[in-house]
Amino acid sequence: GENVEQHPSTLSVQEGDSAVIKCTYSDSASNYFPWYKQELGKRPQLIIDIRSNVGEKKDQRIAVTLNKTAKHFSLHITETQPEDSAVYFCAASKGGSYIPTFGRGTSLIVHP
Amino acid sequence: KAGVTQTPRYLIKTRGQQVTLSCSPISGHRSVSWYQQTPGQGLQFLFEYFSETQRNKGNFPGRFSGRQFSNSRSEMNVSTLELGDSALYLCASSRLESVDEQFFGPGTRLTVL
């Protein structure tokens, strides 16, 4: 089955810095890669996703890049703010009815 | 449009008891997935229902079961509770036959004493 590795497990940055979280996947058939943000005590929320037919997707301060050859994808957050502090989960899926496999999560701490 | 709702939000049970958790998906969503979230194991998939049929199943023992009703609401049941079942149980719904773009509920925090 699919295996998703996520690094780092904890990331501490100063407000205004950029943050990068990386994930690798094992199944070359995976073609859908969502990212979820979970604030303390709240539900995970989808913040951005990418499909294998594109290499990069941006949404304001958030971007995701995908390297299908190397089987890794990354979340980039620019100009970080304290409200970006949360646990971020990546996932990989073959799409359709296939259930996504989640990474273990990265705890992002943005210091004011 | 109302989001995914789960009841109850908190539960305390003792070992050996059983528990039933409920999930109401977003109106129009037909797929409901259940996950167990723990600090050590992260998000682990339990099962997924689509149109009242279990379509996917994770690697959990038979003590964990679920069902989906004709209105897409879903329940999961855990029998003979163990201490290790203490976790946040999340359900997520998806709009189409695909389980892409899942919308999560707030979760039920289960504590087993």
Residue B34: how many other CB atoms lie within 10 Å: 24
pLDDT at B62: 95
Per-residue pLDDT of chain B (113 residues; tens, 9 = 90+): 689 999 999 999 999 999 999 999 999 999 999 999 998 778 999 999 999 999 999 999 999 999 999 999 999 999 999 999 999 999 999 987 777 889 999 999 999 99
pLDDT at B5: 97
**CB half-sphere exposure, B48, CA atoms < 13 A:** 23
pLDDT at B8: 97
Q: What is the pLDDT of residues A17-42, one digit of tens each?
A: 999 999 999 999 999 999 999 999 89
The answer to whether residues A77 and A62 touch, using CB atoms and an 8 Å cutoff, is: yes
How far apart CA A38 and CA B25 sit, in angstroms, is 19
Residue with tokens 């600090």: B39
pLDDT at B1: 67
Return the number of CB contacts < 8 Å for A and B.
55
Q: What is the pLDDT of residues A49-89, one digit of tens each?
A: 999 888 999 999 999 999 999 999 999 999 999 999 999 99
| pLDDT greater than 80 at residue A44 | yes
Contact B56 A99 (CB under 8 A): yes
Share of residues in chain A with pLDDT > 70 (%): 100
Interior/surface letters A58-88, b for 16+ CB within 10 angstroms, e for the rest: eeeebbbbbeeeeebbbbbbeebeeebbbbb
Using the Cβ of B21 and the Cβ atoms of chain A, whether some distance falls under 8 Å is answered with no
pLDDT at B97: 74
Q: How far is B110 from chain A (nearest CA, A)?
A: 14
pLDDT at B44: 93
How far apart CA B86 and CA B109 sit, in angstroms, is 8
How deeply is B15 buried, as exposed, middle or buried, from its count of CB atoms within 10 A (0-12, 13-18, 19+)? Answer: exposed
The answer to whether residues B4 and B105 touch, using CB atoms and an 8 Å cutoff, is: yes
pLDDT-derived band at A1, boundaries 50, 70, 90? confident
Contact A95 B55 (CB under 8 A): no
Contact B90 A43 (CB under 8 A): yes
